[in-house]
Chain A
């Protein structure tokens, strides 16, 4: 079986890609309007939405970056994962119901539509759309680069594709992504998410079982081996220390509810009551993925500090090396397909909200109406965003990574700092005002950009996104109180009272 390892892995990845193309073709027949393309006509069942929320919230980071972070810093990043129990709860308690209601009453297609409805402000709509578009380009570039590098690593190990270039791998993987995202829009995206989420859960469970059996003494022996080398690494705050991990806890706990690709999915379920199934589904999937992330990282740290394996060239190799050293070839095949699934499920979600920003949100903010032939325009926008992001990804690899890093500044931390106050608090507090919303967005962009541009860092490894979110939330409340109370549209006012 061992000699078949490479063909099994490649076959699994190929099968997965063909499946995505098939789903794209199937979804194309169901996509007849911009509403279908962006919010699936608000007709999805709870299991589909639940797995879509989970799989799009966990990108390639959960399969590659997460284990790498545990390998490098010990238990520190566990705080990023345990807090998701609070993060998902905040999202569902505070906004899932209201967003679904506004989507139905106002026929909204995107998060900026919700923001415009709440604040009666085209400026707030435009700023939210622009923030999303910039963040999407940065995110997409990193996801495409990750897909291309994994595919190159897999193909270059075979005699037939030994010399394959990164550009070719980027073209192959992006083509699959573009195909199903263009043909089937969000319907293809969420149904591929269903497949992707299922693969990730199965892969996660099998990997955790494998990891727990690498040492005869199980996870206790893993912990003891790490403790013998550096006790702090296996203590609650890991090597990063208490302040750094608490800044992650704050940012990821409060910020998860501010991620536009997750919030947008809250518009898509058929019935509001489905939320009581969607939340536990999302939590279950995330819990399994977190177990994979933590267990693989810890096992790899233990085998290296315990001199059972030579040190890795880079921390991000923790998961691939674990799979090649300890996993059965069939499991490695499932996990590599799961890795592509994790990357693509996040990328397609971002692609969809980016296309909405281009053809719907920004034109509406600037000239009062969306682009004509919105469905066709959305498909073209999807292609253009993918191509620009692929260009950024390759430029980052072969040239300077600064551009992608800058765009990345508009990613997770900025989404959290900009969107949590204006949406999560704003949809639950009638006293929140338009100037406060605009102040929160502007400050969140400014703080995150300043840290990137000037290369600033905070003491004790505090995350800059934590500071941006904290300042933005405080400013939002204080500016709201300092500015005159505003009249809210009667329908939104009634929804906020429910």
Chain B
């Protein structure tokens, strides 16, 4: 089994474990929100601390497993050849940055739950601003990596030669 698939499987099993843990944890009232008391069709989140405290650890595991599963899937095609190591280090850096952003979201959100004042950044409370801008922004780094690393990591001159040779031979589907 390739290392990338091994890593993917481990991360998927972490997600599965966290999911089972959460499913076995009794659901507090309003865990997924409640109907708004005066506005039909609208929902409220209610007491954030109450609905979050019982599942804090499995949610962290679920976050870590989900993010790692997504990023380890991207590693699968990059885990090859001499350029592979550089590509892996770039993906690891993006993964590290993602983890930092997610930790920042959880730390600032927990500070709010603990009663701290929440500053507003670019139109949103800080933990939400991190969600809206930083999660998206880190994901966008993958697009930059794809665009600027295309010839080096995705479709190399060797790949091009190999494909052209295949087209010349056009082996067919035996």
A residues contacting B by CB (< 8 A) are 71-75, 78-79, 81-86, 88-90, 92-94, 97, 101, 104-106, 117, 218-220, 222-224, 227, 229-244, 246, 249-250, 253-254, 272-273, 275-276, 279-280, 283, 287, 294, 301, 304-305, 311-315, 424-425, 428-429, 431, 458-462, 467, 470-471, 473-474, 477-478, 481, 489-492, 494-495, 497-498
Q: B174 — which chain A residues lie within 8 A by C-beta?
A: 489-490
- Bound-state CA distance A478–B44 (Å) is 41
In the complex, 7 of the A-B residue pairs with CB atoms within 8 angstroms, ordered by the A residue number, are A72-B42, A236-B109, A239-B44, A242-B59, A243-B59, A250-B66, A276-B146
Q: A88 — which chain B residues lie within 8 A by C-beta?
A: 143
Interface size class of B (residues with CB under 8 A): 35 or more
Asked whether A231 lies within 8 Å of B48 as measured between CB atoms, the reply is yes
How many A-B residue pairs have C-beta atoms within 8 angstroms? Tell me. Answer: 263
Asked whether B45 lies within 8 Å of A235 as measured between CB atoms, the reply is yes
Closest chain A CB from B166 CB (angstroms): 5
Closest chain A CB from B85 CB (angstroms): 17
Asked whether B22 lies within 8 Å of A460 as measured between CB atoms, the reply is yes
- Contacting residue for A78 out of B8, B132, B167, CB 8 A: B132
Closest chain B CB from A393 CB (angstroms): 23
Asked whether B41 lies within 8 Å of A232 as measured between CB atoms, the reply is no
Q: B163 — which chain A residues lie within 8 A by C-beta?
A: 101, 272, 495, 498
Closest chain A CB from B17 CB (angstroms): 11
Asked whether B143 lies within 8 Å of A89 as measured between CB atoms, the reply is yes
B residues contacting A by CB (< 8 A) are 1-2, 5, 8-9, 12-13, 15-16, 19, 22-23, 27, 31-33, 36, 39-46, 48, 51-52, 55, 59, 62-63, 66, 69-71, 73-74, 76-78, 105, 109, 112, 120, 122-125, 127-128, 130-132, 135-136, 138-140, 142-143, 146-147, 150, 154-155, 159-160, 162-163, 166-167, 170-174
- Contacting residue for A474 out of B12, B40, B154, CB 8 A: B12
Q: A74 — which chain B residues lie within 8 A by C-beta?
A: 43, 45
Asked whether A234 lies within 8 Å of B139 as measured between CB atoms, the reply is no
- Bound-state CA distance A359–B163 (Å) is 30
Query: Contacts A460-B22, A490-B174 given: A477-B8 contact, CB under 8 Å?
Result: yes
Q: Which 6 A-B pairs have the closest CB atoms?
A: A232-B45, A85-B139, A219-B123, A461-B32, A239-B33, A89-B142
